[in-house]
Chain A
């Protein structure tokens, strides 16, 4: 994931309209569902298999997708670390409650990171189409989508991304060209109409 996003930042490939019809249909379906879902909550488990590390790095936590606002990414284990990702800034909240705000001004490309992260979680095709060729397949309510980088520069880092799910994105698998693989699985996906007070507070952090 890290490498992907960093690489996307440096990728200069020009976008164009995407995709095969199935991928378009899936994206539109997801977009319709999300349009009716102001807030989506889920648990996640992220597993990174890295060549340099002998055991996979496993992270667990929960996430909140707030349409039009951003994403809360709460890591519960093996350490407590939370991120609030919106268009303009990324806020990091450490276990001891220390808050670090990074705006686009501080770290170049941060806004882009936030947008792409949200695009992947929401399977937003327009955002993804600029950097990837998409191919999709459907069987009943379930679907899969495969993204391959358009530019050689991005392909240098990233082999492919696989997204799958039914009503929402349920799994995300990312293969780096160097061999490292990250996969994120979302469980207990549930829609809600509004953020709770604690979440609102976190989104309000500046």
Chain B
């Protein structure tokens, strides 16, 4: 208590104030996560705006929203009838679970009356692409078309009245409408595909609530699992896809990983600290500083962002290993001082080192926190707040609470670190130089083999089973994935529709181009309607049509009506007509009102990678291909370049900071082990064939921050002090443990991050005694 009094009231007040602040942060976090931690599983939320065009960015979200709340299933069975019956049963089971807003095994109910009611008055202005081509090249044979319509035993498609549409022009237009938005065929009123000898039946479900809402995810997966069990008992296979399944899997995976990375880190820290200190007190107090760090980090993230990204959650668990460093150094100093421990002087001795260590770590994260990339800046914010809070806790709390000298015998505790250190000290700088040169030679070929990877899939944990099912569903249904579409912008509906028609014609003419949904198929431009009218008048003149119909025996009344309709000129169908019709409901998200007029989205069906698609629209004003995945990859590549530059700049800044305390040559010596660590890690990446990603480079930034700490702690303690070196070894071990565990994450980005960090930190810590060897002195 004597020492406490000597420490003075201000320090005590600051400690209590900080405790109150941490408690407030804890309350805030608890309040924010009363219904479970608010987690973000939507990948789009993690990504920055990639499109320079605001409308394109809006379109990406409009499409994602329209698809996101759907779950798509295929029920597969060897017997077609059984597959259909099971699909109906499956849909009924899902429906009765009351988890979904709507479940349907039926093909979309398209009311033929609605279709003919909307289009029939305009039938002399509407043509299917095939009929238009036939009329344009003169191969249209009205007599043959009439005969077929009258005598064929059947016709497929939308029924129209024979008297009103005797030549089947309207029927062929209606049948060509992309009403089903997929390449499945209708059998028994269900959407069906055949995979080899097996039959697949489509079941669509609409979620009640957001696909990214954890309770919705839980309910959906439970209901589907139950309905799937019934299917499996009947010998059927269920394929599923939808944002809700990916979201659920990602969230469950991230929570699982956070649990075992957190538990693994804590267990490792406990074991290592017990090994070194053999006392419960340092262990508990260190964990308290880590807890304060994690709480403040979570509070900072939740204060700035509405939800925490999964990637932050997993990363946060591994930050424990770094945040505990400051406490370890403090207790190492405590151990080193032996019976002569005096809290204030103890802190004073290591304070500069701790401050320098914090500054170098924060430099690494500071740039990332400012990045306009929500996923990355959130990680950086978490780390920034966490490390700062842990550091403050060490500096403010530990001098108050660690007042008694240690009872542990420093000599015994430090026997092993002392041996390692003395081995280094026996080495001469000249030998070390040779080792460095040799290392450089060994690393060089590795560096030359480095190659980049900027795939968007780095950011998402996609369980292989789900990916395979999605692939099979896409293959069968050719459905719109939402990631790739053409955007057509114009001042008014007419100009947008005309550009879209040109685009559609080019897409149809291109072999191997993916299918698409174009609003202009439902609502031809006024110009196209006039063109159709002229074509029909030329290929099927009213009098010729009348003669053919008369010959076929059409009654006088029907004939007169046909003649009148063919000769009339009704106002063309307009955007207002289309938007007012219930037919447009499933397609409304394809049209966006923009400040500059109107924009239309033409989603591409299926994933057929066609690199020439963008060129298709190059000379069409206002038409662009938007490919979110490609944009994100390009952006990741750009960031990779920037972070590479920042790494170089940050190294220079760290050197500058070191120069404030050390002479330039000594500062270089302090930096040397870290540079060795960076070099070795990069070479290991090259040799092992791991791709160099944005996240691996981010890890190098951390290696820079952490690696310099070790050298600083050693140099600050003086050349032959085994206690700080023991602290460094324990620190490095905890970092290696927690980030090493990160290397096992299912998120490729975190895996990359973990691998690089582990390699870099391992090399940096082994090389840390180089710093005092090359003459760095406090």
Name A residues whose Cβ lies closer than 8 Å to a Cβ of B: 1-3, 5-7, 9-15, 46, 48, 50-55, 57, 59, 73, 75, 78-79, 81, 83, 90, 92, 94, 102, 104-105, 107-113, 115, 117, 126, 130, 157
Contacts and interface: CB of A to CB of B under 8 A. Distances in A.
* Residue of B148, B153, B162, B553 with most partner-chain A CB within 10 A: B153
Given A12-B109, A81-B147, A109 B155 contact: no
A81 B154 CA distance: 13
A105 B183 contact: yes
B140 to A, nearest CB: 14
Nearest to A90: B156
Contact of A111 (B151, B159, B183, B187): B187
B32 interface: no
Contacts of A54: 553-555
Contacts of A75: 151
Nearest to B184: A108
Interface string B375-404: 000000000000000000000000000000
Contact of B151 (A9, A12, A57, A90): A57
Contacts of A126: 81
Contacts of B183: 105
Contacts of A81: 147-148, 151-152
Nearest to A112: B187
B554 A53 contact: yes
8 contacts: A9-B157, A15-B85, A46-B153, A52-B163, A92-B152, A108-B186, A117-B154, A157-B159
A107 B162 CA distance: 20
A14 B555 contact: no
A14 B151 contact: no
Nearest to B190: A12
Interface in B146-173: 147-159, 161-163
B107 A12 contact: yes
- Greatest chain B CB density within 10 A among A46, A81, A105, A115 is at A81
Contact of A6 (B153, B156, B163): B156
B564 interface: no
Nearest to B92: A14
B354 to A, nearest CB: 70
A50 to B, nearest CB: 6
B185 interface: yes
A68 B144 CA distance: 31
A6 B152 contact: no
Contacts of B154: 1-2, 5-6, 113, 117
A6 B109 contact: no
A12 B189 CA distance: 5
B552 interface: yes
Contact of A108 (B85, B162, B185): B185
Interface string B476-506: 0000000000000000000000000000000
Contact of A52 (B85, B152, B555): B555
Q: Top 10 nearest A-B pairs by Cβ distance?
A: A52-B163, A12-B189, A6-B159, A104-B185, A109-B186, A5-B154, A12-B106, A52-B558, A53-B553, A107-B156
**Interface-centre pick from B109, B151, B156, B162 (highest chain A CB count, 10 A):** B156
Interface of B: 81, 85, 88, 106-107, 109-110, 112, 144, 147-159, 161-163, 175, 180, 183, 185-189, 552-555, 558
A7 B159 contact: yes
Nearest to B162: A52
A104 B183 CA distance: 10
Contacts of A51: 163, 555
Given A12-B189, A13-B189, A130-B188, A109 B151 contact: no
A108 B180 contact: yes
A105 B185 contact: yes
A59 B553 CA distance: 15
A7 B112 CA distance: 9
A53 B552 contact: yes
B156 A79 contact: no
Contacts of B156: 5-6, 9, 90, 102, 107-110, 113
B729 to A, nearest CB: 67
Which residue among B149, B157, B180, B555 has the maximum number of chain A CB atoms within 10 Å of its CB? B157
Contact of B185 (A57, A73, A110, A130): A110
A105 to B, nearest CB: 7
B656 to A, nearest CB: 67
A141 B715 CA distance: 109
Contacts of A110: 156, 185
A14 B81 contact: no
A71 B154 CA distance: 13
Given A48-B150, A108-B156, A108-B186, 7 more contacts: A2-B154, A6-B157, A6-B159, A54-B553, A57-B150, A57-B151, A79-B147
